[in-house]
Amino acid sequence: MTQSDINNTILEVENINVEFSVPDGTVQALRDVSVSLDKGETLGIAGESGSGKSTLALAIVQYLDSNGHVSDGSIRFKGRDILNASKDELRSIRGGEIAHVAQRPSQALNPSLTIGEQISESIRLHQDIDSSDDARERTIEVLDQVNIPDPAEMSERYPHELSGGQQQRAMLAIGLSCNPDLLILDEPTTGLDVTTQAKFLDLIQDLKSEYNTAILLITHNLGVISEIADRVNVLYAGKMVEKGPVKEVFSNPANPYTQALLATTPELGVDKELRPIPGRIPDLDNIPDGCIFADRCDYATEKCETGSIRMETVSERDGHESRCLHWETAISDPIEAEESAAPSHTPGEDVLSAEKLKKYYDVGGVIQNRFFDHQPVQAVSDVSLTIRESETVGLVGESGCGKSTLGRTLLKLHDTTDGSIEFRHQELSGLNKEQLQQFRSECQIIFQDPEASLNPNKTIEEIIERPLKLFTENPPEERQQRITELIEQMNLGREIRSKYPHELSGGQQQRVAIARAFAANPSLIVLDEPVASLDVSVQASILNLLNELRDEYGTSYLLISHDLSVIESICDRVAVMYLGEIIETGTTSEIFAPPYHPYTRSLLRSIPTLDPTEDIAQIRLDGDVPSARDPPSGCSFHTRCPKKIGDICETEDPQLESVGDTDNSHCISCHLDQDQIESPLDMVANPEM
Amino acid sequence: MNRTNQIYLLKRIVTATVSLFIVSTAVFAITQILPGNAATVILGNEATEEAVKEIEAQLGLNRPLWQQYIDYMIGLLTLNFGISLTSQQPVMSMVWPRFIRTLQLAMVTMGMTVITAIPLGVIAAKERDSKIDYLITTSTYLGMSVPSFVTATLLLLVFTTGPFGFLPSGGYTPISQNVIEWLQRIFLPALSLTVIVMAYVLRQTRSSMIETLESKYIRTARLKGVGESKVLFNHALRNGLLPTVTVLAINFGWLMGAVVIVEEIFRYPGIGELIVIAIRNRDLPVIQAGVLIPSAAFIFANLTADIVYTWLDPRITMGDQ
Same domain, A417 and A323: no
Distance in Å, alpha carbon of B235 to nearest chain A alpha carbon: 7
Q: Sign of dihedral through CA atoms B102, B106, B111, B112?
A: positive
Max Cα distance, chain B (Å): 86
Same domain, A676 and A629: yes
What residues of A are in contact with residue B223 (Cβ under 8 Å)?
Answer: 61, 63, 94-95, 99-100, 102
pLDDT at B10: 85
In a domain, A124, yes or no: no
Give the containing element (helix H, strand E) for B64.
none
Q: What is the CA radius of gyration of chain A?
A: 27
Q: For A60, which residue in chain B has the nearest alpha carbon? A: B223
Q: Is the pLDDT of residue A681 over 90?
A: no
Q: What is the pLDDT of residues A262-310, one digit of tens each?
A: 998 888 877 778 888 888 788 888 888 899 999 889 899 989 988 889 9
| DSSP label of A234 | E
Q: What is the pLDDT of residues A397-424, one digit of tens each?
A: 988 888 999 999 999 998 899 999 999 9
pLDDT at A622: 77
pLDDT at B311: 80
Cross-strand pairs, A12: A36, A76
Question: Under an 8 A CB cutoff, do B219 and A121 touch?
Answer: no
Q: Tell me whether residue A124 is exposed, middle or buried, using C-beta atoms within 10 angstroms of its C-beta: 0 to 12, 13 to 18, 19 or more.
A: middle
pLDDT at B192: 92
Same domain, A475 and A518: yes
Question: Under an 8 A CB cutoff, do B315 and A125 touch?
Answer: no
Q: What is the pLDDT of residues A477-492, one digit of tens each?
A: 999 999 999 999 888 8
- CA distances, B213 to each of A42, A406, B116, B207, B238 (Å): 32, 39, 20, 10, 12
pLDDT at A625: 80
Same domain, A532 and A647: no
Res. A580 pLDDT band, cuts 50 70 90: very high
Q: For A95, which residue in chain B has the nearest alpha carbon? A: B224
Q: Does residue A231 sit in helix, strand or coil? A: strand
Cross-strand pairs, A321: A243, A313
Question: Under an 8 A CB cutoff, do B313 and A111 touch?
Answer: yes
In a domain, A481, yes or no: yes
pLDDT at A456: 93
Res. A454 pLDDT band, cuts 50 70 90: very high
Quickly count: other Cβ atoms within 10 Å of residue B29's Cβ. Answer: 12
Q: Which position has the higher pLDDT, B135 or A335?
A: B135
In a domain, A171, yes or no: no
Same domain, A355 and A331: no
Nearest CA to A563 out of A279, A220, A302 is that of A220
pLDDT at A688: 35
Distance in Å, alpha carbon of B246 to nearest chain A alpha carbon: 18
Provide the H-helix boundaries in A278-326. none
Q: What is the pLDDT of residues B66-84, one digit of tens each?
A: 888 898 899 888 888 888 8
Q: What is the pLDDT of residues A365-393, one digit of tens each?
A: 666 666 666 678 888 989 999 999 999 99
In a domain, A532, yes or no: yes
In a domain, A275, yes or no: yes
Q: For B227, which residue in chain A has the nearest alpha carbon? A: A91
Question: Under an 8 A CB cutoff, do A94 and B319 touch?
Answer: no
Per DSSP bridges, beta strands A98-101 and A182-186 are parallel
What residues of B are in contact with residue A121 (Cβ under 8 Å)?
Answer: 221, 224, 226, 234
What residues of A are in contact with residue B238 (Cβ under 8 Å)?
Answer: 112
Q: For A91, which residue in chain B has the nearest alpha carbon? A: B225
Nearest CA to B246 out of B316, B141, B160 is that of B316
Phi and psi, residue A668, nearest 5°: -135, 140
Nearest CA to A84 out of A68, A70, A94 is that of A70
| DSSP label of A337 | P
In a domain, A511, yes or no: yes
pLDDT at A3: 44
Rounded CA separation B213/B218 (Å): 6
In a domain, A135, yes or no: no
Same domain, A496 and A610: no
What residues of A are in contact with residue B219 (Cβ under 8 Å)?
Answer: 63, 102, 108
Distance in Å, alpha carbon of B211 to nearest chain A alpha carbon: 13
* Domain final position from A318, A341, A364: A341
Question: Under an 8 A CB cutoff, do B223 and A158 touch?
Answer: no
pLDDT at A164: 85
Contact A651, A635 (CB under 8 A): no
Question: Under an 8 A CB cutoff, do A122 and B224 touch?
Answer: yes
Nearest CA to A411 out of A523, A545, A513, A515 is that of A523
Interface of A with B (CB under 8 A): 61, 63, 90-96, 99-100, 102, 104, 107-113, 121-122, 125-126, 158, 160-161, 171, 174, 364-365, 367-368, 372
Question: Under an 8 A CB cutoff, do A95 and B227 touch?
Answer: no
pLDDT at A684: 39
In a domain, A523, yes or no: yes
Res. A685 pLDDT band, cuts 50 70 90: very low
What residues of B are in contact with residue A111 (Cβ under 8 Å)?
Answer: 217, 239, 313-315
Q: Which position has the higher pLDDT, A368 or A187?
A: A187
Contact A453, A447 (CB under 8 A): yes
pLDDT at B202: 94
pLDDT at A665: 84
Q: What percent of chain A has pLDDT over 90?
A: 52
Q: At what angle do helices B3-33 and B65-77 cross, to 10 degrees?
A: 130
pLDDT at B35: 66
Distance in Å, alpha carbon of B243 to nearest chain A alpha carbon: 14
- Report the Cα–Cα distance between both ends of chain B, in Å, rounded: 20
Q: Which position has the higher pLDDT, A120 or A661?
A: A120
Contact A253, A318 (CB under 8 A): no
Q: Which position has the higher pLDDT, A204 or A339?
A: A204
* Domain final position from A309, A341, A373: A341
Q: For A156, which residue in chain B has the nearest alpha carbon? A: B314
CA angle A545, A551, A557 (to 5 degrees): 75
- CA distances, A306 to each of A219, A290, A321, A610 (Å): 31, 4, 20, 34
Same domain, A422 and A556: yes
Q: What is the pLDDT of residues A638-678, one digit of tens each?
A: 988 888 888 889 988 898 888 876 677 899 999 988 777 77
- Going through A114-258 in order, the beta strands assigned E by DSSP cover 182-186, 214-219, 231-236, 239-245
Res. A534 pLDDT band, cuts 50 70 90: confident
Residue among A63, A110, A171 minimizing CB distance to B235: A110
Tell me the Ramachandran region of residue A116: left when phi exceeds 0, alpha when psi lies from -120 to 50, beta otherwise. Answer: alpha
Instruction: Provide the number of CB pairs (under 8 Å) joining chain A to chain B.
Output: 84
Residue among A92, A93, A108 minimizing CB distance to B220: A108
Count of structural domains within chain A: 3
Question: Under an 8 A CB cutoff, do A125 and B225 touch?
Answer: yes
Res. A226 pLDDT band, cuts 50 70 90: very high
pLDDT at B318: 43
Rounded CA separation A395/A401 (Å): 10
Owning domain of residue A654: 594-689
Same domain, A362 and A304: no
Same domain, A468 and A377: yes
Q: Is the pLDDT of residue A41 over 90?
A: yes
Which domains are present in chain B?
97-281 (1.10.3720.10)
Query: What are the residue ranges in chain B where pLDDT is below 70?
Result: 1-3, 35-38, 41, 316-321
pLDDT at A7: 64
Q: Is the pLDDT of residue A5 over 80?
A: no
User: What was the ipTM of the complex prediction?
Assistant: 0.81
Q: What is the pLDDT of residues A240-274, one digit of tens each?
A: 999 999 999 999 999 999 999 999 888 887 777 88
Question: Under an 8 A CB cutoff, do B222 and A121 touch?
Answer: no
Same domain, A381 and A305: no
Q: What is the pLDDT of residues A85-102, one digit of tens each?
A: 999 999 999 999 999 999
Residue among B11, B222, B321 minimizing CB distance to A367: B11
Residue A496 sits in a domain whose CATH number is 3.40.50.300
Write the DSSP string, A617-677: ------S-PPPTTSPPSSSTTTTT-TT--SHHHHH--PPPEE-SSSSS--EE--SS-HHHH
Q: Report pTM.
A: 0.84
Res. A1 pLDDT band, cuts 50 70 90: very low
Q: Which amino acid is at B145?
A: S
Same domain, A455 and A383: yes
Quickly count: other Cβ atoms within 10 Å of residue B17's Cβ. Answer: 12
- CA distances, B295 to each of A320, A330, B99, B103, B254 (Å): 75, 78, 11, 12, 10
Candidates A63, A91, A112, A161: best to mutate against B (most CBs of B within 10 A) is A112
Same domain, A524 and A440: yes
Provide the H-helix boundaries in A417-475. 433-442, 450-453, 460-471
- CA distances, A206 to each of A181, A213, A228, A490, B256 (Å): 16, 12, 10, 46, 63
Give the containing element (helix H, strand E) for B116.
helix B91-126
